[in-house]
Amino acid sequence: MATTPRVFTVTSGKGGVGKTNIAVNLACQLAGAGNRVCLLDADFGLANVDVLLGVTPPKDIFHLFQARTRLEDVLYPTAYGFSILPAGSGFNRVTELKTTERLELLHALEPLADRLDYLIVDTAAGAGETVLYFNMAAQERLLVLCPEPTSLADAYALVKTLKVTHGVERFRVCVNMCQNERQGKQIFARLYDACDQFLSGVSLDLAGIIPQDSVVRDAVMKQRPFGSLYPKSEASRAIARLAQNVGKWPAARKAGGNIQFFWKSLLMRNQ
Ligand SMILES: Nc1ncnc2c1ncn2[C@@H]1O[C@H](COP(=O)(O)OP(=O)(O)OP(=O)(O)O)[C@@H](O)[C@H]1O
Ligand SMILES: [Mg+2]
């Protein structure tokens, strides 16, 4: 049976809310459950996926813009059952891709359509052009925020920008670094109420609540995914629940009923 990759971003308004840790550990969980997973590091200014995994891939996606570099040369397998598409070292890097580069990247990724169950896109924070682009192109967006008021305000700002400028309406929400479940639900409710009041048409679903947990920082220092190092920790159990929820998201379909892979629709839109 032909499969369709689910393509989703892990994104946020405010920086440092835990996107990359969540993306890496979700990739681990989904791969551990038998899925074929690739994690695209789309934070071109501050690429961190390779750092969190303690690897130094020889090539990054910028090599794809050069002749004779194949996708296979850039895809980097990890010890955790998923592959990564690295964004590069961060030195002398631009934070925004040029329009031609965005299209070239999506085109270069096309062969993955038959080989993946999940493509996870770890974006930069904020509402820069490249962040908006990936969020618009993906089937789903996992919006990460934490209990700080600034994080809530910036999450709302990102939802608003995507809705107003690009007509994006569906968001999955993950509240990270919570004291407890109740706090996570309260934060989600605040974002939900603000969107309900001021952004008609936007739908938000609570996908996960991740506790503040010291194992996260510990695992960052060891450059290993916390889910792999400390599988029984609170944070790891929360990631496992989040992964189960992600597994229930429906595959995107076009109005005609055809299954849609994210860049196909985007390339058509840009022609
Ligand atoms: N659940 C958690 N419990 C404790 N600390 C956490 C948790 N999640 C993230 N952190 C801490 O927050 C730091 C930032 O996390 P991470 O790099 O994943 O955020 P980010 O949103 O990707 O940041 P950026 O916007 O810079 O890309 C981590 O180094 C870790 O120390
Ligand atoms: Mg990050």
The amino acid present at 219, given as its one-letter code, is A
Q: How far is CA 86 from the centre of its chain?
A: 14
Kindly tell me the sign of the dihedral angle through the C-alpha atoms of 231, 237, 241, 242. negative
Calculate helix-pair angle for 234-247, 19-32, nearest 10 degrees. Answer: 70
Ligand 1 nearest atom to the CA of residue 177, by list position: 1
Ligand 1 nearest atom to the CA of residue 214, by list position: 4
pTM (predicted TM-score): 0.94
Q: What are phi and psi of 110, to 5 degrees?
A: -50, -45
Rounded to the nearest whole angstrom, what is the distance from the C-alpha of residue 18 to the centroid of ligand 1?
A: 3
Per-residue pLDDT tens digits of the chain, which is 271 residues long: 445 789 999 999 999 999 999 999 999 999 999 999 999 999 988 889 999 999 999 999 989 888 788 999 999 999 999 999 999 765 556 778 888 888 888 888 888 888 999 999 999 999 999 999 999 988 899 999 999 999 999 999 999 999 999 999 999 999 999 999 999 999 999 999 999 999 999 999 999 999 999 999 999 999 999 999 999 999 999 999 999 999 999 875 543 333 344 555 554 454 3
CATH architecture assignment, domain 6-270? 3-Layer(aba) Sandwich (3.40)
Rounded to the nearest whole angstrom, what is the distance from the C-alpha of residue 20 to the centroid of ligand 1?
A: 7
